[in-house]
């Protein structure tokens, strides 16, 4: 029982600290699509190693239907959802623009309005300030 109380106290402190960290730099999700799972995996690894993203959740096969150069295309792509800080988005966009094989890479940013404060603190702690 004492162990459970200590764990709850530790969790409460972690939540308090997490809320302090998250309020300083909003967490967000950056979605990027690419031509293949190997390409998106390598690019994601580079971003995580550079501490520009805490993690990336990869969907290896998505189907994209889009209009390009007056033609409708139906292609298989890969997608990653990166968890990062809003302040790092410009650098992620710059790196994606430089490294991406597409003329106009899909890079969109979604705000994270709420979530597990301990997870969001982890995102903040594992990314560059």
pLDDT tens profile 43-60: 999 999 999 999 999 999
Domain range for 101: 26-113
pLDDT tens profile 63-103: 999 999 999 999 999 999 999 999 999 999 999 999 999 99
Higher-pLDDT residue of 104, 22: 104
Note whether residue 121 is domain-resident: no
pLDDT cut 70: percent of the chain above it: 81
Is the pTM value of this prediction over 0.85?
no
Note whether residue 82 is domain-resident: yes
Note whether residue 3 is domain-resident: no
Taking the C-alpha atoms of residue 117 and residue 119, their distance in angstroms, rounded to an integer, is 5
Q: How many structural domains compose the chain?
A: 1
Note whether residue 13 is domain-resident: no
Note whether residue 51 is domain-resident: yes
How far is Cα of residue 37 from the mean position of the Cα atoms in its chain?
16
The CATH number assigned to the domain holding 72 equals: 3.30.70.120
**Rg over CA atoms, the chain:** 18
């Amino acid at each position: 029982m004492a162990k459970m109380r200590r764990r709850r106290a530790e969790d409460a402190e972690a939540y308090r600290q997490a809320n302090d960290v998250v309020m300083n730099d909003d967490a967000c999700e950056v979605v990027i699509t690419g031509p293949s799972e190997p390409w998106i995996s390598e690019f994601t690894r580079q971003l995580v190693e550079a501490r520009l993203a805490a993690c990336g959740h990869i969907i290896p096969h998505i189907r994209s239907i889009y209009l390009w150069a007056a033609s409708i295309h139906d292609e298989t792509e890969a997608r990653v959802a990166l968890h990062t800080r809003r302040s790092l988005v410009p650098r992620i966009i710059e790196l994606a623009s430089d490294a991406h094989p597409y003329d106009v890479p899909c890079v969109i940013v979604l705000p994270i309005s709420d979530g597990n404060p301990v997870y969001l603190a982890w995102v903040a702690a594992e990314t560059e300030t």
